[in-house]
């Protein structure tokens, strides 16, 4: 039981870190594209 709980916690942490990494990458890419192609 305890082992499964620890494994679930590790998976949750990896999932949250992955989500924030993807969101951060999307934000950085959008900022770069805005700088390259500014609105008229």
Q: What is the pLDDT of residues 1-40, one digit of tens each?
A: 689 999 999 999 999 999 999 999 999 999 999 999 987 7
- Its pTM stands at 0.68
- Between CA 2 and CA 8 the distance in angstroms is 10
Distance CA(21)–CA(31), nearest Å, equals: 15
Question: Tell me, what's the pLDDT at 40?
Answer: 77
């Amino acid at each position: 039981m305890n082992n499964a709980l620890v494994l679930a916690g590790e998976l949750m942490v990896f999932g949250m870190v992955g989500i924030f990494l993807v969101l951060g990458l999307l934000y950085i890419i959008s900022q770069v594209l805005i700088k390259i192609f500014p609105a008229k």
